[in-house]
Structure 1
Amino acid sequence: MERGEEVRCLCPPGLHLAADNKTCEDVNECHHDASVCPPRKTCKNTFGSFVCVCQHGFVIGTLQGSLQCRDKDECLTGSHRCSRHAQCVNTDGSYTCQCLEDYFGNGRTCWPKRAPQSKSDMYFNYKLSKRTKTIQPPS
Structure 2
Amino acid sequence: MTMQTVRDVMTTNVVYLPSETTLAEAARTMREQNIGDVVVADGPGLTGMVTDRDIVVRAVAERCDPAATTIGEIVTRDLVTVRPEDSIHTAALLMRDQAVRRVLVCDDIQGLVGIVSIGDLAEEIDPDSVLGGISRSAPNN
TM-score range normalised by the length of the shorter chain? under 0.3
More strand by percentage? 1
- Determine which structure has the larger helix proportion and give its number: 2
- Max radius of gyration: which structure? 1
Instruction: Normalising by structure 1, report the TM-score.
Output: 0.22
